[in-house]
Amino acid sequence: MMRGEKVGLRARHSEDIPAFQAELYNDVVARTRVDSRPWVPVPQGTEKTPNAAGAQVESATPFSVVELETGELAGEAGLWGIDTHNRLAHLGISLRPAFRGRGLATDVVRVLCAYGFAVRGLRRLQIETLADNAPMIATARRAGFTLEGTLRSSAWVYGGFADEVILGLLAEEWRE
C-alpha cells in the first residue's frame, strides 16, 4: 500500500466492487461527468463489470482508496493512458459521496504523483476535468498542477457538450 497523510492506495479487491458499482458507476449523471465513455447498464459480477478487481492492463494502474483513520473504502483512483515511451500518464480519482469534502482528494492526488514519478519514473502527469469541476481543479492546483488550457465543448455530458480543462505536472516540478 502506498500511504499519504490521510489515505492509502492499495490493490483493488473484489469486495470493493459492489460499493464502486452502487455509489460511483450507477450514478449515471455523475459517471458521465468523470468518464468519457458512454454509460451503459452493466450487471455486477459479469466480466464487463467496471472497475473489476484484477482487471489490470498495461496502460492503467487502478487503486482502491482507503481512509487511513477509519480503514474504510473511500473511492478509486489511478493512472491511465500510461505511455512508457513518452513517460506520461493521466490521473483519475473518484471518491464515494460520503468521503467527499473531507480533505482526502489532495492527498490522493499527491500519492498518485509519488507513484507516477518515484515508482514508475514518469516525466509528466496530466489531469483532464470539466471546466466547472472547481473542487478537482482546486485539488490539482494544491498538489502542484498547472492549468494548461481549455478544450472548448470537448466532452459530451448527459445531453450537452461541456468544456474541459487540462492540468499538468512535470517531474521536476513535483515535490513529495
Assess contact for 115 and 9: CB atoms under 8 A. yes
CB 30 within 8 A of CB 23: no
Averaged pLDDT score across all residues of the chain:
91
Alpha helix stretches (DSSP H) within 54-169:
105-114, 134-142
Residue-wise pLDDT for 62-97, tens only, equals: 999 999 999 999 999 999 999 999 999 999 999 999
99-106's contacts with Cβ under 8 Å and 24+ in sequence apart are 99/65, 99/67, 99/72, 99/74, 99/75, 100/135, 102/67, 103/6, 104/6, 104/7, 104/65, 104/67, 104/74, 104/75, 105/135, 105/136, 105/139, 106/139, 106/142, 106/143
Stretch (H or E) spanning 3: strand 2-3
Q: Which domains does the chain have, with CATH numbers?
A: 2-173 (3.40.630.30)
Report pLDDT for 26. 81
pLDDT in tens, 31-69: 788 777 777 887 766 555 555 555 556 899 999 999 999
Beta bridge partners, 167, equal 127, 147
